[in-house]
Structure 1
């Protein structure tokens, strides 16, 4: 199959890492569906279409069971063309630019982060299993975080817990889907220059930068290149692994 036969569905694709992954996959010849709760996802998809790519946008809350279950109807004929799912949607609440301490965290905030970051990836993956299994080929890519690999002084406990859970979920899914020709891998970005990172308190990124051997913050494109590789046939023997994209700020 060529890239044009493998539709990519990217969640949280309005901006930042998700938008860059959608662009990179589109540039590689994949038709792409960009999903997000943000209205600007429409403009992001329109910009890709203006450049000659096959791209459409859908408004979707990945934590909404009914909305995810309706995806086959929403995507219509595109559903059977699905070959790649990128679970990128995620939230990381800050308060005046800082994470909320565990002792002060409302249970509702904890639940919302896990609903979007972890349960959302579960719902999306579960929904996409039938079309991927039917064609005997597929790629599921989880965007986790360096906060899932080591203690973070910037991300909140709910974000770290959700992303750590996502890595465990990815390994379980990889074991179940591998026999069907479907690989499941994770990308753990370090500090990436995105709108989410920009929400941190003044000086937080500068402090983080001092501990990055590469000497710079990452870009969404850095992550997108790794995603494009994992989505390719060249990565067919990678399954259940995590690739760190952090400029050396975390070395397992």
Structure 2
């Protein structure tokens, strides 16, 4: 898929690893200047340097999406340095496993603060600059878990991902007058460093639930985000794309 993003300034939160790194790489390949935003500046710099070593343009910035002051500072520094923010990929998120009977308010708040409130913070902080851009785009990384499926141990994560979509749909109405679209990608099980940490048994079990018989790649998500960020997708807003290899389709496990 070829999308001309030359001259576009793209901010990817949580861009130093996993799906965020995949998004950063694919957008950089299309000519954008990608700002890799992450809690760890060292990790963000490492990803940005890897992209530059491949001949792409990229830079890094630190951000803590739990704190609005940090997100606001990030947005203002990016706009001041590069003159614009054209595309925001709100991707930062966590998914620690905690059973409901063991859930604490701290467990709950941390996930909702990073995944949901962090999305709102990123959109709000970047909005003044997105308004000044032509064909501005926002893409949220949600999940099939919560909006469509459930998984034991992820009640807080599922709630955060479903909440992102409710936020997105109402935000779409507010942003439309400024010609800003906001959409979401909904990954299934994707091969990332974090997912590998759940163990081989989990990965094997998940692969068995997918009609393609394998987990997805970060590029599968990145190219969907790229389409939603394209000029051609300018009449799409408040919508979702499920990228799960057909995982949510079967009515029973014997269907494939």
Same-fold call, TM > 0.5? yes
Aligned to 1:77: 80
User: Shift of residue 66 of structure 1?
Assistant: 1.2
From 88, 91, 108, give the equivalent of 2:91: 88
Deviation at 1:150, TM superposition (A): 2.5
Contact kept? 2:62, 2:74, Cα under 8 Å: no
Query: Which sits farther off after the overlay, 185-194 or 210-219?
Result: 210-219
Aligned length: 246
- Segment drifting more, 200-209 vs 17-26: 200-209
Q: Does 1:11 align with 2:10?
A: no
- Structure-2 change in CA distance of 1:76 and 1:82 (3 Å): closer
CA distance in 2, matches of 1:204, 1:121: 28
Q: Is the 8 A contact 1:148 1:188 kept in 2?
A: no
Measured after TM superposition, the shift of residue 32 of structure 1 is 0.7
- The answer to which of 230-239 and 70-79 deviates more is 70-79
1:234 equivalent in structure 2: 232
Where structure 1 has 5 or more consecutive residues not aligned to the other structure, the ranges are 94-98
Q: Secondary structure at the match of 2:183?
A: strand
Tell me the distance in 1 between the aligned counterparts of 2:38 and 2:84.
Answer: 20
SS of the equivalent of 2:170 reads: helix
Aligned match of 1:212: 210
Per the alignment, residue 55 of structure 2 pairs with 52
Residue 61 of structure 1 is matched in structure 2 by 64
What RMSD, in angstroms, separates the aligned Cα atoms of the two structures? Answer: 1.6
The 3-state SS of whatever aligns with 1:130 is helix
Q: 1:155, CA displacement in angstroms?
A: 5.4
Distance 1:110 1:118 in 2: 11
Equivalent of 1:120, from 118, 121, 126? 118
How far, CA to CA, are the matches of 1:185 and 1:73 in structure 2? Answer: 23
Evaluate the alpha carbon distance shift between residue 129 and residue 76 of structure 1 in structure 2; reply closer, same or farther with a 3 A threshold.
Answer: closer
The CA distance in 1 between the partners of 2:190 and 2:145, in whole Å, is 13
The 2-side partners of 1:76 and 1:13 are apart by: 18
Cα-to-partner distance string for 1:211-233 (whole Å, 9 max, x where unaligned): 11111100101111111111111
Instruction: Tell me the TM-score normalized by structure 1.
Output: 0.92
Moved more, 68-77 or 102-111: 68-77
Q: CA deviation at 1:202?
A: 4.0
Rounded to whole Å, the distance in 1 between the matches of 2:233 and 2:248 is: 23
Q: Deviations for 1:152-211, whole angstroms, at most 9, x for unmatched residues?
A: 225511111001000111111111111211110000000001112112244112112111
Q: Is the 8 A contact 1:187 1:227 kept in 2?
A: yes
Contact 2:95 2:111 in 1 (8 A): yes
Q: CA deviation at 1:251?
A: 3.4
Alignment check: 8 A CA contact 2:111 2:157 kept: yes
1:75 CA displacement: 2.1
Between the aligned partners of 1:166 and 1:73, the Cα distance in structure 2 is 24
* TM-score (ref. length: structure 2): 0.91
Paired residue for 1:96? none
Within a 5 Å distance, the mapping from 1:1-252 to structure 2 comes to 3-38=5-40, 39-78=42-81, 80-93=83-96, 99-153=97-151, 156-251=154-249
